[in-house]
Structure 1
């Protein structure tokens, strides 16, 4: 039996109880992650139990809802995450990422280095998870800052902005894809509009913001570790043949091009029912686009760099290790979201936001902001906010629904702090104190979120 409590069957007291249950459930997750250092997967499971107990829902029914949400979330994005991980691993291990970095730096003056770092992060970050991008780019940032004697944050903030913006706005990253799936948005349209939002957001929160932040926190580049490899001194385990820049960039952009191609063909009415429309509908599906890109990457970046078939199999296996935890956290976030929806919290919040004097874009952004600050996870914020925002998109057209997805993405990036793994990752890699990380990384994330929302609102005036 379903246990949904809707606005039509619940009293005001019921609504209050549901809101209190949601707040306490989120508070339990924050407490378990922040104070007790419990893994986010377990914290989300226990937070779901707290939500159910306060809402007066039987635990057996609650965990049925939780597992349904977990299964549907992993089912919709799990394969995409795995394929994206393969592409990212190939890009790193083949030397393709190094080729992109070296090419950009070789053609850039010192004055334009912040812009170059933003461009590198934007290109390399398309197929990579944020954490993988940080691990890849921060050593490059530190090395370039040391060579040029430039402040670390002058180069680091643009790189972080590029990675963060892509993580929140651009498919095939899991957050935007989850929101597209939940709100039934068009993935190609969302991708195209997401790129339009991402570019100015990166420029403002990256190179432009980096200058005052570098003066505020004057962080000097550390000495390179003894024996560390440089662009001129490749590591001993470097691939036998490094791919060209054109090949590396081509693999990075291939899934994006396929998804955009589908969106462009769909805009031409005369293609309806034609073989061209059928073909682009197939290859432009995120799963197929990433599968094609992964297979091409295995051939071009894998075999092309001299790896054996056995070596490629090992590389693919290693790429899955890094995403196991991500899959569990994303799935648990989907389970918590589904429980919020099934208990009726989603309807209560949606009705409240729909009745408030706010546009659906601002309402969706605010929902994501609250969940992001509470849980510390951009992906969990996107998953949960997408479920709660379903009533907001009722009756909206395709472009408007895509903009709601982007507004949620903007809200999911607001104020990274101590309950966010990314906060600690950035802190440790750059060697900053907690206070310095708040002054730089956390502030940058706020700027990304607000500028992203402003860009979405401006786009809403013309689409």
Structure 2
């Protein structure tokens, strides 16, 4: 074996051991993912012979560079989600759409609601917010909770992993230098059929093979009186506004002259920070002030929302540090060279890395950030691969294999009243199916862009 091959093998061993350390720290020692990511990065630095001063610099530049714009975007997105929560907007969407389409189509309605309402809220928040609707409809239509609950859970998971401005999806978009508007468009294009196949279609098949225990009705929040909910149209507009603005910026790039006033104005407004800032003020009015809330109350709700994102911000910062070590140590370049020699499809590789990390670590966010750090250096070796496709491949991989080490698994299991085997057969299997379908969609889309 020549020196170059030995060096490559050692680099790959370092990468493998860093992932093992990461998994061990999170799962066995119960160390917070932020600390675990930084420690795994420091291991890479030490094992590859980086000077100690450079190790500190990598941490600082990795965390700071990643959180530079992300912290602002996530902060604004959190306010938007909080406004949807306190106003009853999610309940309004569900109630109106169910009334319009009928309870027989409830699984399809919940898929659509998850894709829309899941945009500004985290998976757990969205599922808990909408569960009372699931329970009431399942009872009235006399169908299994699985028939309605799994479609909602899968659609929320798809949005969580693939659609900015969700934190993990947006972070990976920034890390890989992808266009956020394109990622949103492509993610919805792929995510919608993915959520349908792994949601209502799969749930219909699997519901007869699983049993749900009767849920205690006292634990289900009573429906909000109709007159206290915001209007359907204004709620939908408020949720989708940031997407409209960001996608509009991407579309306008095709028609406006670069350097012109209109071009610069649209790019300014379409920047995720500005788009979300505008949307926050719209939400303050449409879902708050216009319904009798005072600015003092909105301030309180905003502060409440910020408390919930401290952990996610630190995890994303830790992911940035881990990524910086991969680049600064030269490990990423070595991985790129090896992958080129293997002639492996980079889309499948990105999907596989994210899937394995989610399976092992149990966090979609950590899996996606770690995968982006590993895949990022490969993009230069594949100039025909668009960064948007790479982002979607990572998101598709991270959807799958949701099991006992993921809090989302236990949330769905307990709320739907499933035994452990039935939770595997229904929710875990649905996430795996969604991941495979999404991969197929990404591979197909890659043929056209």
TM-score by length of 2: 0.92
Report what 2:196 is aligned to. Answer: 203
Deviation, structure 1 residue 458 = 1.1
Deviation, structure 1 residue 198 = 1.1
1:139 aligns with 2:132: yes
What does 1:401-412 correspond to in 2, within 5 Å? Answer: 401-412=387-398
Report what 1:222 is aligned to. Answer: 215
Report what 2:83 is aligned to. Answer: 90
SS of residue in 1 equivalent to 2:399:
coil
Q: 1:28 to 1:185 in 2, by over 3 A?
A: same
- Correspondence for 1:74 among 53, 57, 67: 67
Task: Give CA-to-partner distance per residue, 1:46-99, whole Å, 9 cap, x none.
Answer: 333444454454555434322321222222311111111100100110122221
**91-100 or 105-114, which moves further after superposition?**
105-114
Counterpart contact for 2:322–2:370, Cα < 8 Å: yes
1:392 aligns with 2:385: no
Deviation, structure 1 residue 286 = 0.9
Report what 2:313 is aligned to. Answer: 327
Report what 1:184 is aligned to. Answer: 177
Q: 1:60 to 1:131 in 2, by over 3 A?
A: farther
- Correspondence for 2:245 among 251, 258, 278: 258
Looking at structure 1, the residues matched to 9 and 374 of structure 2 have their Cα atoms a distance apart, in angstroms, of 16
Looking at structure 1, the residues matched to 142 and 215 of structure 2 have their Cα atoms a distance apart, in angstroms, of 10
**49-58 or 217-226, which moves further after superposition?**
49-58
What does 1:104-253 correspond to in 2, within 5 Å? Answer: 104-225=97-218, 228-232=221-225, 241-253=228-240
Counterpart contact for 1:142–1:152, Cα < 8 Å: yes
Report what 1:439 is aligned to. Answer: 425
Counterpart contact for 1:190–1:406, Cα < 8 Å: yes
Looking at structure 1, the residues matched to 72 and 276 of structure 2 have their Cα atoms a distance apart, in angstroms, of 9
Report what 2:14 is aligned to. Answer: 21
Counterpart contact for 1:242–1:305, Cα < 8 Å: no
Report what 2:415 is aligned to. Answer: 429
Deviation, structure 1 residue 331 = 1.4
Looking at structure 1, the residues matched to 120 and 229 of structure 2 have their Cα atoms a distance apart, in angstroms, of 19
Counterpart contact for 2:355–2:398, Cα < 8 Å: yes
Looking at structure 1, the residues matched to 343 and 102 of structure 2 have their Cα atoms a distance apart, in angstroms, of 49
SS of residue in 1 equivalent to 2:288:
helix
SS of residue in 2 equivalent to 1:273:
coil
Counterpart contact for 1:347–1:388, Cα < 8 Å: no
Task: Give CA-to-partner distance per residue, 1:119-152, whole Å, 9 cap, x none.
Answer: 1111101111222212222333233223332111
SS of residue in 1 equivalent to 2:327:
helix
1:380 aligns with 2:366: yes
Report what 1:237 is aligned to. Answer: none
Q: 1:395 to 1:39 in 2, by over 3 A?
A: closer
Looking at structure 1, the residues matched to 21 and 168 of structure 2 have their Cα atoms a distance apart, in angstroms, of 23
Looking at structure 2, the residues matched to 422 and 58 of structure 1 have their Cα atoms a distance apart, in angstroms, of 40
Deviation, structure 1 residue 408 = 1.5
Counterpart contact for 2:110–2:152, Cα < 8 Å: yes
Deviation, structure 1 residue 196 = 0.9
- Correspondence for 2:37 among 34, 44, 47: 44
Cα RMSD of the aligned pairs, angstroms, is 2.4
**167-176 or 373-382, which moves further after superposition?**
373-382
Looking at structure 2, the residues matched to 188 and 397 of structure 1 have their Cα atoms a distance apart, in angstroms, of 20
1:418 aligns with 2:400: no
Counterpart contact for 1:26–1:47, Cα < 8 Å: yes
Gaps of 5+ in 1: 1-8, 235-239
Counterpart contact for 1:413–1:449, Cα < 8 Å: yes
Task: Give CA-to-partner distance per residue, 1:319-355, whole Å, 9 cap, x none.
Answer: 1011111111221122222223322332222222233
Deviation, structure 1 residue 422 = 2.3
1:280 aligns with 2:273: no
Looking at structure 2, the residues matched to 453 and 227 of structure 1 have their Cα atoms a distance apart, in angstroms, of 36
Counterpart contact for 2:69–2:273, Cα < 8 Å: no
Counterpart contact for 2:154–2:198, Cα < 8 Å: yes
The count of corresponding residues between Structure 1 and Structure 2 is 448
Deviation, structure 1 residue 396 = 6.2
Gaps of 5+ in 2: none
Task: Give CA-to-partner distance per residue, 1:417-445, whole Å, 9 cap, x none.
Answer: 33323223333333434333322222111
SS of residue in 1 equivalent to 2:218:
coil
Counterpart contact for 1:171–1:191, Cα < 8 Å: yes
SS of residue in 2 equivalent to 1:277:
helix
